[in-house]
Copies of this chain bind each other. A is one copy, B any other.
């Protein structure tokens, strides 16, 4: 627990889109749904880098990678995934205080329809567009959350 870290001080009300609460990790549906079903895996412990994960945290990460790929494929129809651990934003500070998190962007070779609206992965088979805006309304985000959660909880 680090007093100056946003992830160490996340409040219950900010956990609305928590998908998985495992021993060492929280998985949230990301605020920015530029790629439908995008999630963020946040280590519960304050830790600076991938290299500093301990053996148990690393092992649990693997089981989460497997679970998320299966569940998002089943629930949303993603057919491949972009994983990244970047941490750049923390280094904008003069005294960086990084907290390990990992992004996963599901990618789609076919359109996906949510609440009657159809979305395409325009950059499919290319690098994700880092400047892409959020595509979903709040209620569509809730739908996506419920679709993933439903398969997760089976």
Contact = CB atoms under 8 A, between A and B. Distances in A.
Interface of A: 49-51, 53, 55, 58-59, 62, 65-66, 69-70, 79-89, 91-92, 96, 98, 107, 109, 124-128, 130
A59 B92 CA distance: 32
Nearest to A70: B51
B125 A109 contact: no
B109 A91 contact: yes
A109 B62 CA distance: 31
Contacts of A88: 80, 82, 107, 125-127
Given A58-B58, A109-B91, A127 B130 contact: yes
A66 B58 CA distance: 12
